[in-house]
Structure 1
């Protein structure tokens, strides 16, 4: 991959209402209103892979990891809470990544902010 996937992921996360970025555990992470994390970059954080971790609606992690382990995984630390890991060191469909980022945001954002996405 010629470019850092962080350059593609960052604008997807920051485009959502009232989001911010800061380091968390040494990696870029995105928060709603500076408090609730919805996604985190993982550049060889726990292995030799590049990806990101994101909040996911119930059942999504199991469905995607079971059906496509080349692209999805159960991340350490937050996987037991249903978060989804997405590999970014394989061919990536950035439209799908955008949908996953928005779903992650919806999973943790207050209803008022989620409603902004729907208008």
Structure 2
């Protein structure tokens, strides 16, 4: 768990104007006050170690869940807004996880950061 959290933390905090705060007891990452990633380890006893990230919406969420159910799942509380959980336990494609975190940041970041070159 610690290695996964350290990876998520390092990846998220490398993005412009991000900060980490606890939200509902979880390490949560924000850009300009908007949440873009949350690390969860055995959240409410679900036995999963994941990072929750934004998608472009329910269509992308459904596509990811169908295409790769071993990697993606619906995160409690966040899934109605199109978020997905990305599995970060076992064999993990860390480049893929980093891309999902960065894409989530882009969906939450204000226009001024994106126009300035983003990530």
TM-score by length of 2: 0.90
Q: Secondary structure at the match of 1:5?
A: helix
Q: How does 1:59-74 map to 2 (within 5 A)?
A: 59-74=59-74
Counterpart of 2:41 (choices 32, 36, 43) is 43
Unaligned runs of 5+ in 1: none
Runs of 4+ in structure 1 displaced over 2 angstroms? 115-119
Contact 1:57 1:103 in 2 (8 A): no
Aligned partners of 1:115 and 1:17: how far apart in 2?
12
Question: In structure 1, what is the equivalent of residue 23 of structure 2?
Answer: 24
Question: In structure 2, what is the equivalent of residue 79 of structure 1?
Answer: 79
Q: Deviations over 1:13-52 (max 9, x none)?
A: 001110000110001000012x110000001013111111
| Count of residues in Structure 1 that have an aligned counterpart in Structure 2 | 117
Structure with the higher helix share, 1 or 2: 2
Contact 2:106 2:118 in 1 (8 A): no
Q: Secondary structure at the match of 1:37?
A: strand
Unaligned runs of 5+ in 2: none
Aligned partners of 2:36 and 2:89: how far apart in 1?
21
Alignment of 1:11 onto 2:10: yes
Q: Deviations over 1:30-77 (max 9, x none)?
A: 0012x1100000010131111111111122211111111111001110
